[in-house]
C-alpha cells in the first residue's frame, strides 16, 4: 500500500466529514436557477461620443517589498471603439502585456481580450511563496459579444494555455479561502494537506478551449507536488453554468501497476458554479473507460496516456505543453508562440 493509499484508507467516512448536500449531484429547480455570472447590463454606446488618448507610465510600482514593477498604458477611443496600443508591466515578480478592444455596435458589443503573463507566479495569488522561473507563462485570448456579463460568457470563444513552476503553498491559507466543496476537493487532491501545513508544488500546466460558451478542459490540467500527481479534465458550460470535471490523484512513489489499467481513486465535480456537487466514485470503473464517459471528452486518463505523460515524465507540465503544440496547433499555436513585443 502506498503512502497516499494509506492516507485515503485512514480518512473517516465521507458522511462524517463532509456535508451530505455536496455529495449529491442532483439539484433542485431552485438551485439550478441560481447563477453566479451576473446579468449586469453593459452599455458602451458612450464610446461613439468621444475621441481620446490616454498615456500613463509608472517607473516603480511597489506591490510589496520584493515586488516592484513598471507599468505602461496607452489607450485610445475613436469611432465607437476603445482599444489598447500598449498595456504592459515588467518587474521583479512578474511581467506581461495585454491587448483590449471594446467596440459598441448598433445592438450589441464586441469584446476581444488577449493576456500574456510571464514570470507570473500563480502561487502568489493564493498566498504562497513561488519559485521564480523565467519559463513560466499564462496566455489567453477570448472574444465575445453581448450586452451583459452573462451574455459575454455565453458567447465567448477562445483558449487558455499555461505552464508554471513550483513553490510552497500554505494549506491553512487555502482552506480559509475556499468554500466547503472546494476545500474538500483540495483535500482529496492532496490528502497530505490534512497532516502537513504546507504543500511543495513542483509544477503546474494546462490547456483549455472555449467554444460558444462551453469550456473544454482538454487535454486537461496537470499539477505535480513532491508527493502526488494530479490531473483534471472535463467541461464547464458557461451557458448553463454547469460543471463536469473529473480529478485523479496518483502517488509519485510506490505505484507498481499501470495507472491506465488500475481502478483509480478519481472523483467528479458536478452541479453548477453556484451549487457545486462533489460526486465520489472511489470504487468506480477502470480509468481506461470510466473517465472517458465522465468527462465527455478526451483526457490524458481516458486515452491511456497517464504513464507516458505523467508517471514516467521528468516534468509532466512541459510534456503536456509539448503534446499540445504537436496536436492542437490550430487552437493553441498563436498562444504558444512568444509575442514579438516581449
Q: Residue 342's pLDDT band (boundaries 50, 70, 90)?
A: very low
State the pLDDT at residue 18: 43
CA distance 212 to 189: 30
95-104 vs 109-118, strand pairing mode: antiparallel
For residue 142, pLDDT beyond 70? yes
Peptide bond into 219 cis (omega under 30): yes
Give 254 or 156, the one with higher predicted confidence.
156
State the pLDDT at residue 105: 92
Task: Calculate mean pLDDT across residues 5-25.
Answer: 46
State the pLDDT at residue 200: 84
Task: Calculate mean pLDDT across residues 164-193.
Answer: 67
State the pLDDT at residue 193: 67
State the pLDDT at residue 310: 63
Give 10 or 290, the one with higher predicted confidence.
10
For residue 151, pLDDT beyond 90? yes
For residue 197, pLDDT beyond 80? no
Model confidence pLDDT, tens digit, residues 198-248: 788 888 899 999 999 999 988 788 988 888 888 888 899 999 999 988 888
State the pLDDT at residue 14: 38
198-211 vs 157-164, strand pairing mode: antiparallel
CA distance 254 to 269: 27
Give 333 or 295, the one with higher predicted confidence.
333
Q: What angle do CA 248, 252, 258 make, to 5 degrees?
A: 65
Per-residue burial over 30-68, b = 16 or more CB atoms within 10 Å of its CB, e = otherwise: eebeeeebeeeebebeebeeeeeeeeeeeeeeeeeeeee
State the pLDDT at residue 134: 61
State the pLDDT at residue 42: 93
State the pLDDT at residue 95: 86
Weakest mean pLDDT among 137-151, 159-173, 250-264: 250-264
State the pLDDT at residue 156: 97
State the pLDDT at residue 329: 55
Closest CA to 252 of 334, 192, 296: 192
State the pLDDT at residue 45: 92
Average pLDDT, the chain: 75
| Other residues' Cβ atoms within 10 Å of the Cβ of residue 191 | 22
Closest CA to 30 of 274, 239, 277, 236: 274
Give 118 or 2, the one with higher predicted confidence.
118
Q: Residue 12's pLDDT band (boundaries 50, 70, 90)?
A: very low
State the pLDDT at residue 123: 57
Task: Calculate mean pLDDT across residues 249-259.
Answer: 56
Weakest mean pLDDT among 5-14, 59-68, 189-198: 5-14
Weakest mean pLDDT among 70-84, 161-175, 184-198, 204-218: 184-198
State the pLDDT at residue 337: 66
Give 46 or 68, the one with higher predicted confidence.
46
Contact 140, 335 (CB under 8 A): yes
State the pLDDT at residue 295: 41
Ordered alpha helix ranges (H), 142-230: 149-154, 171-177, 180-189
Q: Residue 61's pLDDT band (boundaries 50, 70, 90)?
A: confident
For residue 135, pLDDT beyond 80? no
Closest CA to 311 of 246, 261, 269: 261
Amino acid at each position: 500500500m502506498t503512502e497516499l493509499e494509506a492516507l485515503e484508507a485512514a480518512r473517516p467516512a465521507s458522511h462524517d466529514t463532509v456535508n451530505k448536500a455536496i455529495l449529491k449531484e442532483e439539484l433542485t429547480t431552485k438551485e439550478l436557477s441560481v447563477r453566479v455570472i451576473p446579468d449586469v447590463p453593459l452599455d458602451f454606446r458612450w464610446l461613439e461620443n468621444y475621441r481620446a488618448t490616454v498615456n500613463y507610465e509608472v517607473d516603480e510600482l511597489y506591490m510589496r517589498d520584493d515586488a516592484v514593477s513598471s507599468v505602461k498604458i496607452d489607450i485610445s477611443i475613436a469611432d465607437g471603439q476603445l482599444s489598447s496600443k500598449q498595456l504592459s508591466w515588467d518587474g521583479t515578480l512578474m511581467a506581461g502585456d495585454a491587448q483590449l478592444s471594446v467596440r459598441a455596435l448598433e445592438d450589441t458589443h464586441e469584446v476581444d481580450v488577449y493576456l500574456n503573463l510571464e514570470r507570473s507566479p500563480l502561487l502568489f495569488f493564493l498566498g504562497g511563496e513561488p519559485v521564480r522561473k523565467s519559463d513560466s507563462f499564462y496566455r489567453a485570448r477570448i472574444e465575445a459579444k453581448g450586452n451583459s456579463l452573462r451574455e459575454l460568457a455565453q458567447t465567448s470563444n477562445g483558449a487558455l494555455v499555461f505552464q508554471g513552476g513550483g513553490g510552497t503553498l500554505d494549506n491553512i491559507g487555502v482552506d480559509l479561502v475556499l468554500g466547503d466543496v472546494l476545500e474538500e476537493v483540495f483535500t482529496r487532491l492532496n490528502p497530505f494537506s490534512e497532516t502537513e501545513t504546507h504543500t511543495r508544488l513542483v509544477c503546474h500546466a494546462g490547456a483549455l478551449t472555449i467554444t460558444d460558451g462551453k469550456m473544454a478542459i482538454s487535454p486537461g490540467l496537470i499539477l505535480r507536488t513532491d508527493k502526488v500527481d494530479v490531473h483534471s479534465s472535463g467541461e464547464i458550460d458557461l451557458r448553463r453554468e454547469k460543471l463536469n470535471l473529473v480529478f485523479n490523484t496518483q502517488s509519485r512513489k510506490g505505484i507498481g501497476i499501470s495507472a491506465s489499467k488500475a481502478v483509480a481513486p478519481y472523483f467528479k465535480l458536478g452541479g453548477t458554479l453556484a451549487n457545486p456537487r462533489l460526486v465520489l466514485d472511489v470504487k468506480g470503473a477502470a480509468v481506461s473507460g470510466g473517465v472517458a464517459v465522465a468527462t465527455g471528452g478526451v483526457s490524458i486518463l481516458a486515452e491511456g496516456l497517464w504513464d507516458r505523460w505523467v508517471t514516467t515524465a521528468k516534468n509532466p507540465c512541459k510534456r503536456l505543453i509539448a503534446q499540445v503544440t504537436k496536436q492542437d496547433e490550430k487552437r493553441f499555436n498563436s498562444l504558444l508562440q512568444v509575442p514579438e513585443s516581449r
